[in-house]
Amino acid sequence: MSIKTPVGQGLSASSRTHGTQGFAGKILRLVSLIATNPVEAWDRIATKMEVRADKVHQTGPGIYFPGESEAALADLEVHLHAGVRSHLAETQLRDIEDEVVRRIEGGLTAAPFTLAHCSGRLLARTCYAIVRALRPNVVLETGVAYGVTSTFILKALETNGQGLLHSVDLPPLGRDANRFVGALVPQSLRRRWHLHRGSTRRVLPKLLPSLGSVGLFVHDSLHTYRTMEYEFAAVTPRLAPGSMLIADDIQDNAAFRNWVDRSKPVFAAAIREPDKQSLFGITYFA
């Protein structure tokens, strides 16, 4: 049987089974973490409680009218006064897509957490094209897992010949999970990459002041209302004119919608991710 990989290629069922190490294993790891790293253990417990609370105190789904990505990017180009879609045809993008597929098939056979964490192909490609068009000096993303979006963003920065990516991730609780965070990112792209380990709520207050202004923010960590609202509120004052914010999985709550209403970017669109049947949002501040 074949499933869709994050970059839209067939992947055999054998590579789909790893990553599920069982509830008991996770509890054991959490208990040992309480002894070795109580701060992180607390962050993980708080995250679980937040996910549960999000289900109980439903804020209602976000109401979106998703458009075709082609039309949304065409609209974005009008505001940016720059081409975005042309970057989707670049050989550098094709090369990195091929490399990510090769790495998934060849290198993640003993991976400790599920490939379902990986972002979809359209989001990854859109991140690449937007970084190429915007040419940001600083990109900040939350949520790395195996590093699909990180890889595409880094490839675009490398092609631009400028810019750094700061990524924040609290890895899933799996055996050897640390080693696999960003495992898809090729060595050749890592010189522009800073990976910060921990929950966004703990890392961002210290990290953000050190970054100056952020040219592109990509949210793909915990998709609860509370964390999305927190990250958007923390990053917004750092978004310079001409910057963008992208958020994955906006469909389950109204955090993105409410933030757009408050922050009033000149451009906002919701795009359907065909691989995952989810929505991601893109916004632009002139």
Ligand X SMILES: C[S@@+](CC[C@H](N)C(=O)[O-])C[C@H]1O[C@@H](n2cnc3c(N)ncnc32)[C@H](O)[C@@H]1O
Residue 168 vs 269, nearer CB to ligand X: 168
Q: Judged by CB under 6 A, how many residues of this single chain contact ligand X?
A: 22
Q: Is 222 a binder of ligand X (CB under 6 A)? A: yes
Site string for ligand X, 193-212 (x = CB under 6 A): ------xx------------
Count Cβ atoms within 10 A of the Cβ of residue 67 and give its class: 0-12 exposed, 13-18 middle, 19 or more buried: middle
Site for ligand X in 252-281 (CB under 6 A): none
CA 4 → CA 51, 80, 117, 128, 247, distances in Å? 26, 32, 13, 20, 21
The string of DSSP codes covering 220-273 is -S--SHHHHHHHHHHHGGGEEEEEEEEEE--TTSSHHHHHHHHH--SEEEEEEE
Q: Is 144 a binder of ligand X (CB under 6 A)? A: yes
Residue 119 vs 251, nearer CB to ligand X: 119
Q: Is 47 a binder of ligand X (CB under 6 A)? A: yes
* Contact window for ligand X (CB under 6 A) among 72-80, 89-97, 146-154, 207-215: 146-154
Both structure tokens of 90:
């670049």
If one counts every other C-beta atom within 10 angstroms of the C-beta of residue 59, the result is 15
Nearest 10 degrees: Cα torsion 49, 50, 54, 57? 70
Residue 80 vs 152, nearer CB to ligand X: 152
List, in order, residues 6 or more apart from 156 with CB less than 8 Å away: 87, 92, 127, 128, 129, 130, 131, 132
Q: Is 221 a binder of ligand X (CB under 6 A)? A: yes
* Contact window for ligand X (CB under 6 A) among 56-64, 138-146, 187-195, 274-282: 138-146
Q: How far is the CB of 200 from ligand X (least distance, A)?
A: 4
Residue 66 vs 172, nearer CB to ligand X: 172
Both structure tokens of 174:
């799996």
* Contact window for ligand X (CB under 6 A) among 73-81, 156-164, 168-176, 267-275: 168-176
Binding ligand X (rule: CB under 6 A), the pick from 76, 111, 131, 168 is 168
Distance (Å, whole) CA 23 – CA 163: 40
Q: Is 195 left (phi over 0), alpha (psi -120 to 50) or beta?
A: beta
Residue 227 vs 243, nearer CB to ligand X: 227
Q: What is the 3-state secondary structure (H, E, C) of 23-51?
A: HHHHHHHHHHHHHHCHHHHHHHHHHHHHH
| Phi/psi at 184 (5° precision) | -80, -15
Q: Is 242 a binder of ligand X (CB under 6 A)? A: no
Site for ligand X in 60-119 (CB under 6 A): 117-119
Binding ligand X (rule: CB under 6 A), the pick from 145, 214, 228, 268 is 145
- Give me the residue label for tokens 């965070």: 181
Binding ligand X (rule: CB under 6 A), the pick from 171, 215, 265, 281 is 171
Binding ligand X (rule: CB under 6 A), the pick from 5, 69, 126, 227 is 227
Residues of this chain that interact with ligand X (CB under 6 A) are 47, 117-119, 142-146, 148-149, 168-172, 199-200, 220-222, 227
